[in-house]
Amino acid sequence: MIKNELKKSIAMPMLWGFLAVCLLFNICLAAGYRYKIVDYPFFSYVRDAASEAGIIVNKEFSQKLTAMPDSPQKKRLASDAAAAQPVFAGYDTSYLAEAYINLYDISGKWAHLMKAKYENLQHAVQRLDAAGAEFSLYAASETPRMHNLLFGVMLRAIITETCILAALIMLHLCAYERQNKTERMIYSSKTGRSVFHYKLRAGFLTSIFCFALIAAVSLIVYFALFDYSQLWSCNVSSGFNYVSDRAGLKPVLTWVSFTVAGYLFAMLGLGLLLSLVFAMMGAVIGLLLRSSYTGMLLFFLACLAMLAIPYMFSEAGIWGGYFLAQLSPVTLWFSSPYWLTDMGSLSIIPLHETAGIAANIVLWGLLLFVSYRYMKRKDVL
């Protein structure tokens, strides 16, 4: 039975057309940044310098860099190395809590929870300091743009595409019999309705396949254009890496010390889990409506609502509702460039995205179970 459902999903014309558009878009995105946005010659020089001078910016690094042939890129890198500072030594995260509380006028227990989050983050900063993360080379002064390109642009595109596709696959499978006018024949008995069990399994497997395909092809092209061969072991919380929000410039403060490779795999894992949450959303809507077009409309309206609700709560000063709404699947997707970091004003708990995705798996899993049980008992109209 599951083979038949897999054939239905894989034979869907929209699937391959959507995959082709996504892959073409991602390739163009990477190529556009390669030739127009980032300073690729400097990034390439940093990578090559790392093979000779190492990836820890210290006195030995500067000495080895001095021995290398002169060039504009060497001059810039030498300037970066001379400006490297122990960012995390004595770094106090409490000022960030106060900044967000004052900027957004957060009060009561929500302000207390914001302070508690940054008190916990202080321990993570101390671990980063002990590991010497701030002296990790990464891409030197080009680090913010390179980090944003990989994790804020490319991975966000991959996660966006696979989440939408996962939901559409489930909607298609759930509506397949109605569209082909075989619904009455198949669903006239409880035994026939058990086919939904196989539909769900096929939908999840196809979603995983699509995630793997889009991620693999997109990242192979990306790393062919941007060779990270000497930089995989660099720490993403390098002193050269920073983000900017309403609180000003701040280092990339991760809850766990991550190398570039480790952070990439962690983000891909979270992205895959989030795409399965979207698959469950599509399955719940599909089981209840069994109409791909109406289901698609409802799915996109629900996504827009999930994006709008947090802003409505923040404007009204209802901070409990605001922080709870930040745990919806869509707001988790929206904040993906900041996963595994402090998340700024978007969160009051450590590892916000991990807790949010886990909670959504449980919630949508329960909704899916209830919808499936309802479908098995519902009269066919």
On the question of pLDDT at 42 being above 50, the answer is yes
> Whose structure tokens read 């039975």?
1
Most confident of 46-50, 187-191, 286-290: 46-50
On the question of pLDDT at 196 being above 60, the answer is yes
* Mean of pLDDT over the chain: 91
> What's the token pair of residue 353?
């995205």
DSSP 70: P
Please give the C-alpha separations between residue 185 and each of 175, 177, 193, 290, in angstroms, as whole numbers.
Answer: 14, 9, 10, 15
> What is the DSSP annotation of 80-132?
HHHH---TTTT--THHHHHHHHHHHT--HHHHHHHHHHHHHHHHHHHHHHHTT
**Mean pLDDT along residues 310-335:** 95
Taking the C-alpha atoms of residue 284 and residue 276, their distance in angstroms, rounded to an integer, is 12
On the question of pLDDT at 319 being above 60, the answer is yes
User: What does the pLDDT read at residue 182?
Assistant: 57
On the question of pLDDT at 186 being above 80, the answer is no
User: What does the pLDDT read at residue 174?
Assistant: 83
Query: For the chain, what are the domain ranges?
Result: 2-40+93-377
Taking the C-alpha atoms of residue 262 and residue 84, their distance in angstroms, rounded to an integer, is 24
User: What does the pLDDT read at residue 288?
Assistant: 86
Least confident of 5-19, 172-186, 296-310, 317-331: 172-186
Contact indicator for 214, 22 with CB cutoff of 8 Å: yes
On the question of pLDDT at 222 being above 70, the answer is yes
For 379, the 3-state DSSP assignment is coil
User: What does the pLDDT read at residue 197?
Assistant: 79
Instruction: Kindly give, in sequence order, each residue whose CB lies less than 8 Å from that of residue 226, ignoring residues fewer than 6 positions away.
Output: 30, 34, 40, 43, 146, 149, 150
On the question of pLDDT at 34 being above 80, the answer is yes
Instruction: Kindly give, in sequence order, each residue whose CB lies less than 8 Å from that of residue 307, ignoring residues fewer than 6 positions away.
Output: 330, 331, 334
CA 11 from centre of chain = 28
**Mean pLDDT along residues 326-342:** 97
**Mean pLDDT along residues 342-371:** 96
- Nearest alpha-carbon partner for 145 in 333, 337, 332, 335: 337
**pLDDT tens digits, residue range 103-114?**
999 999 999 999
Model pTM score: 0.93
> Whose structure tokens read 């900027």?
103
On the question of pLDDT at 381 being above 60, the answer is no
Rounded to 5 degrees, φ, ψ at 49 are -65, -35
**pLDDT tens digits, residue range 85-94?**
999 998 999 9
**pLDDT tens digits, residue range 50-79?**
999 999 999 999 999 999 999 999 999 999
**pLDDT tens digits, residue range 250-293?**
999 999 999 999 999 999 999 999 999 999 999 999 888 877 78
On the question of pLDDT at 129 being above 70, the answer is yes
Contact indicator for 276, 167 with CB cutoff of 8 Å: no
On the question of pLDDT at 380 being above 60, the answer is no
Rg, C-alpha atoms of the chain? 24
**Mean pLDDT along residues 42-53:** 95
Query: How many degrees, rounded to 5, is the angle at CA 19 between CA 18 and CA 23?
Result: 120
Taking the C-alpha atoms of residue 360 and residue 354, their distance in angstroms, rounded to an integer, is 10
User: What does the pLDDT read at residue 36?
Assistant: 79
